[in-house]
Amino acid sequence: MEYIGIQAQKRRNDFRSMLLLFMFPCLVLGMVYIFFLLLAWLGFIEEAETEGHFWLSVNSVYLNSVPYVLGVVFVWFTIAYFLNTYIIKVSTGATTLERKKNKRVYNLVENLCMSQGMKIPKINIINDESLNAFASGINERTYTVTLSKGIIDRLKDEELEAVIAHELSHIRNHDVHLLIVSIVFVGVFSMVAQLAFSTISSLSGGSSKKKNDNSDGAVILVLFLAIIVALIGLLLATLMRFAISRKREYLADAGAAEMTKNPLALASALSKIAKDPNIEAVTREDVAQLFIQHPGNKAEGFIGNLGGIFATHPPIEKRIRILEQF
């Protein structure tokens, strides 16, 4: 696969990040409108006593809610912007890799960065014997390359250098910007669905004898509608994310081959990673997409088994074949 150029890829990913940022509130507002439509259809919204009363009632409630919805979206993105590094670090169990404990890794990272005129990112380690790595961050202050203990210990120098070059390519191409935005994008719908499901489970399992069955039934019905709408939003957001960032791994592989002038080293590293990519601490699918190879028990998780349509990573065998053709 021909590498399309650093600046072109940066501009493309910056545009896609902005597109996702624009699409997110639009999708949220659309899902909220569908939610109010369902509520009105079930009689939870009082109808206006005018012609076209159904739509008038829905539109009135919806328009009143728009400022609050946009406020929640703004708060969500503000929190994610300032806390994304911490959230990812906690979600993966990563800690800072100290230079005195592994000068080998620092030397590899620094040599690659100097050869490309890049600022040296932070380096983290995941205390897991499996083989995997990822890059994250939204600016030079937060750019981070994270490596598992297994990948540091079990790869040769040229293989580890190629993996690091792959992750630096993600940073150089601004893939990390796009991935962080997509994690935030998808996460809100997943959170709403989980909260609604947890509340339904709590209400359904209540043992109070004095509870009002009709009231609880209405609440459960509303929450069930929220789950349906959130899942629809999650599906649409996921489809948008995959459509926008499908080729990022191929481009990072090509960038690593260009950076190290040794594509076979990355091909060899990927072959070893494919045998043991599972990182036990990683349970969130949105965070899993950051890694060089999906860190779940299966190559792409449940969604990825549907013919590869929803896969966050291309088949690693195909990536190896392309590298071997360089």
CA–CA separation, 148 vs 57, rounded Å? 55
Q: Which residues are bridge partners to 133 per DSSP?
A: 147
Which residue from 102, 178, 101, 100 is spatially nearest to 135, judged by alpha carbons? Answer: 178
Place of tokens 């703004």: 74
Q: Catalytic residue at 167?
A: yes
Which residue from 83, 85, 37 is spatially nearest to 59, judged by alpha carbons? Answer: 37
User: φ and ψ at 9, to 5 degrees?
Assistant: -70, -35
Place of tokens 């990072």: 252
CA–CA separation, 56 vs 64, rounded Å? 12
Place of tokens 């998780």: 301
CA–CA separation, 221 vs 39, rounded Å? 9
Active site residue: 161, 167, 249, 300, which one? 167
Q: So which residues are the catalytic ones?
A: 167
